[in-house]
Amino acid sequence: MAEAGSFADRVKQQADIVRVIGEYVRLKKSGQNFTGLCPFHGEKTPSFAVHPVKQIFHCFGCGKGGDVFSFVMEMEKCPFPDAVKVVAEKCGIPVPRPKERTPEERQENQQRAALIEIHREAQAFFVRQLESTAEGRAARAYLGDRGLNAESIAQFGIGYAPSGGDVLLRQLKPKYVEKLLVESGVISRDQSGARLFDRFRRRITFPIANESGKIVAFGCRALGDDLPKYLNSPETPIYSKSNVLYHMDRAKEPIRRQDFAILVEGYMDAIAVARAGIGNVVASCGTSLAEPQIKLLGRFTKRVIVNYDPDVAGQAATERSLTLLLEQDFEVRVLALPAIGDKKADPDLFIREKGAEAYIKLLKEAPPYVDYLIARARQMDLSTGEGKQRALNFLMPYVQRIPNRLLRSEWATRIAQQLRIDEPVLRAALNKSATERRGEVKVAPQLVGKPAKQIERRLIRMLAEAEGFRKELAQRLQHGRLYEGLETEKVFAALIVAGLSDEPIPTTEIGAQLEERERRLFFEILFEDAQEPTWEEAESCLDALRRRQIEQELAKVQKTIEANPSGAGLRELLERKQELMKRLTAAG
């Protein structure tokens, strides 16, 4: 991973794992280690430990462990190069600009940087327009009616695009070539191709940021009756609507912490929910969710509550999203808000009318998606056989996606009861389709092996940290092949290779070479409270391994003799046995 001399390696040398992890986890000094509540699994008593000397962490509960980079990768759900950058930034180490490999790449990067810069300027422009123009005042009044005060307007960067038609253009034109302005999507070209104009006019603007918080697009709502009511940025080199979730840049931390997300349709909904104190909300900004958006969400949680608009389009979008979410193994609940008077309520309207608490209460009670679907099916005409068949056809594809057989069976019973369908008929249909669906979810392999014997644990610890004699120890172990056949053989093999060199033991690299089960064991041993090792102790451990080796060979010889007591070579075997017995006695 962090190659010697590389930037990653330098960052690792300079970074303090306790400080970096301390930004995510409340750590307490405990002996030579620091401990805290594991951020990767729910727990009430700390089993998460950080080793300040070896610069590693390990959770005795869930088994996660590694170095500062693996911690950040797991926490931020980001790839290795991003984790290096995050750690560098946290530690104030300047990040070198990545080298572009080809002139095309360089040009592309320059273009992206310029497009981001245009968005940054457009954002500042829209905010100024809202704050300090007569037109902006009208927009502020509108936002005020929607319950957005100055603080929320600032928090979500809401702005205003004036009606002039070229006010933004005039500001940007001196700095950027026309081609780039059109590519950015904030400026449009008329059909003749001769004239440029502002794409957004007389609209409230909502900046849409990518995951790292850079503004890459705008969503805009007409202030008057202009059509379309909502107008968004087009697809550009920095923005693809199927790749971005509105509010994701701010929601990712609360989503990870609470391990679930609320999915709403529009940015006004996301803002309303976030303002209600529920930060883990994102909006798909369109009628339906796309697969890349689900994958993005899936990096932070696999649990989602879908709260789309209750109109027909919203229902269809909910059902389409359900299919995709279930395919990606999400645990899905659906919140269908009750109508307010005769108005169908989206999250924004509901929170404005009924308050945040009422919303939170319904959120907590949001039923699993199958309940929602049964309720939908019950709205169909169930008085005829055909009607029931239609309802069943509607439900079946979803029920099939429930990976757990028992749960599927439970739902079958409920559906049969609720729709008054003959249960055996329903089950037959289910079983038929069950054989057609893909395999069951695999059970995670058992990660914890038998505990390594005390002698092995001590030797591993010595190899890892007894600076005075680890090389000598590694040589003896290797020479006598004393570790072969041990359950911890692979840990020994890796440590011996490293121990024969004069370099410090690269703990994390060794961990990375090992299988997960062995890596866990290795880290556990490193974190154990232990006395300072001595060479005398090492020698007695080596003796024990030698005895074990002799005993094993003796058993083998004995077995061969018993298998063929009159065979050729018996004399040699008996001699060998004698010799081994003698050595065993000598070994004590």
SS3 (DSSP) at 93: coil
Beta carbon nearer to Zn ion, 46 or 157? 46
Q: How far is the CB of 82 from Zn ion (least distance, A)?
A: 22
Q: How far is the CB of 57 from Zn ion (least distance, A)?
A: 10
What are the phi and psi torsion angles at 456 (to 5°)? -65, -40
Question: Which listed range, 32-40, 75-83, 268-276, 330-338, lies at the site for Zn ion (CB under 5 A)?
Answer: 32-40
Q: How far is the CB of 38 from Zn ion (least distance, A)?
A: 3
Q: How far is the CB of 303 from Zn ion (least distance, A)?
A: 18
For residue 27, the 8-state DSSP code is -
SS3 (DSSP) at 361: helix
- CA angle in degrees (0–180, nearest 5) for 436-437-443: 130
Beta carbon nearer to Zn ion, 59 or 349? 59
For residue 368, the 8-state DSSP code is B
Tokens 């690299």: give the residue. 509
Report the length, in residues, of the chain.
Answer: 588
Q: How far is the CB of 24 from Zn ion (least distance, A)?
A: 13
**Residues in contact with Zn ion, total (CB under 5 A)?**
6
Q: How far is the CB of 35 from Zn ion (least distance, A)?
A: 12
- Rounded to an integer, what distance in angstroms lies between the CA atom of residue 349 and that of residue 359? 11
Beta carbon nearer to Zn ion, 48 or 308? 48
Q: Site for Zn ion (CB under 5 A): which residue of 1, 18, 37, 62? A: 62
Q: How far is the CB of 37 from Zn ion (least distance, A)?
A: 9
Q: Site for Zn ion (CB under 5 A): which residue of 41, 137, 175, 195? A: 41
Beta carbon nearer to Zn ion, 48 or 483? 48
Q: How far is the CB of 441 from Zn ion (least distance, A)?
A: 21
Beta carbon nearer to Zn ion, 62 or 584? 62
For residue 40, state whether it binds Zn ion (rule: CB under 5 A). Answer: yes
The answer to whether the beta carbons of residues 333 and 368 sit under 8 Å apart is yes
Beta carbon nearer to Zn ion, 38 or 415? 38
Distance set, CA 271 to CA 55, 107, 232, 336, 538 (Å): 40, 36, 17, 18, 63
Q: How far is the CB of 60 from Zn ion (least distance, A)?
A: 8
Distance set, CA 499 to CA 110, 345, 452, 467, 476 (Å): 47, 67, 20, 9, 11
For residue 21, state whether it binds Zn ion (rule: CB under 5 A). Answer: no
Burial class (CB in 10 A: 0-12, 13-18, 19+), 47: middle
Question: Which listed range, 52-60, 85-93, 278-286, 351-359, lies at the site for Zn ion (CB under 5 A)?
Answer: 52-60
For residue 38, state whether it binds Zn ion (rule: CB under 5 A). Answer: yes
Beta carbon nearer to Zn ion, 59 or 474? 59
* Nearest residue to 230 via CA among 210, 200, 189: 200
For residue 281, state whether it binds Zn ion (rule: CB under 5 A). Answer: no
Beta carbon nearer to Zn ion, 61 or 237? 61
Question: Which listed range, 58-66, 146-154, 227-235, 375-383, lies at the site for Zn ion (CB under 5 A)?
Answer: 58-66
For residue 37, state whether it binds Zn ion (rule: CB under 5 A). Answer: no
Helices (H) and strands (E) in the chain, counts: 26, 15
Q: Site for Zn ion (CB under 5 A): which residue of 15, 59, 263, 336? A: 59
Q: List beta partners, residue 205.
A: 159, 220
Q: How far is the CB of 50 from Zn ion (least distance, A)?
A: 12
Beta carbon nearer to Zn ion, 61 or 292? 61
Beta carbon nearer to Zn ion, 64 or 199? 64
Q: Site for Zn ion (CB under 5 A): which residue of 61, 237, 254, 367? A: 61
Instruction: Tell me the H-state helices in 420-469.
Output: 423-436, 454-465
Question: Which listed range, 55-63, 219-227, 424-432, 542-550, lies at the site for Zn ion (CB under 5 A)?
Answer: 55-63
Q: Which residues contact 465 (CB under 8 A, 6 or more apart)?
A: 505, 526, 533
The DSSP annotation for 295-350 comes to HHHHTT-SEEEEE--SSHHHHHHHHHHHHHHHHTT-EEEE--PPPBTTBPPPHHHH
Beta carbon nearer to Zn ion, 62 or 138? 62
- CA angle in degrees (0–180, nearest 5) for 177-180-182: 110
Q: How far is the CB of 40 from Zn ion (least distance, A)?
A: 5
Question: Which listed range, 37-45, 260-268, 332-340, 496-504, lies at the site for Zn ion (CB under 5 A)?
Answer: 37-45
Q: Which residues contact 351 (CB under 8 A, 6 or more apart)?
A: 272, 273, 275, 276, 359
Beta carbon nearer to Zn ion, 57 or 239? 57
What are the phi and psi torsion angles at 188 (to 5°)? -115, 160
Footprint on this chain of Zn ion (rule: CB under 5 A):
38, 40-41, 59, 61-62
